[in-house]
Amino acid sequence: MSHYLAAGRFVSLHGVRGELKIYPYCDSVEMLVGFKRLYSDSNGTKDVEISRIRAANNMVIIKLKGIDTVEAARKYIDKLIYFNKDDVILDEGVHFIDDLLGCSIVDEITKRVYGKLTDVTSNGAQDIYHITMDSDEIRYIPAVPEFVSSIDIESKIIKIRPIPGMLED
């Protein structure tokens, strides 16, 4: 688990005074705009000094201190920008995907270990957990309370209540 997560990617220039556009990887543009501190590396050792930051449709426009020309801003294109997980207060029951990856998937009733959570995607209505089974086969379960009974990040265990046929043939 990393303590610093990618918040977005610098994708293009905006105007002629060194502003940049960021494609956000966060839950929302507003979340990214709300950060007071961002970093140019995944270790949090290089702070990015922000002059201005604002939402623009589904993108973020950012002005970095000391970057006042197109030429100076161009070197940031295609680079990632990071945030510190400690700077985010998550709602009860909400977790960073980074913290969920690698968790063992365990049947709440039978205690059977099915495999590990290896990816999380969304179908628009809810997240979908990708479980790599012990047989290396990948199965999918909706991340909804009907199937996911508990998540223990410290123990790296997600307890589930699968329905027949969900995780076995």
What is the model's pLDDT at position 132? 95
Q: What's the pTM? A: 0.76
Structural domains of the chain, ranges and CATH numbers in brackets: 4-87 (2.40.30.60), 97-160 (2.30.30.240)
Triad 114, 100, 125: Cα angle to 5° = 90
pLDDT (tens digit per residue) in 8-36? 999 999 988 999 999 998 878 888 888 88
38 neighbors 48 (Cβ within 8 angstroms):
yes
pLDDT (tens digit per residue) in 111-157? 999 999 999 998 878 899 999 998 899 999 999 999 999 999 999 99
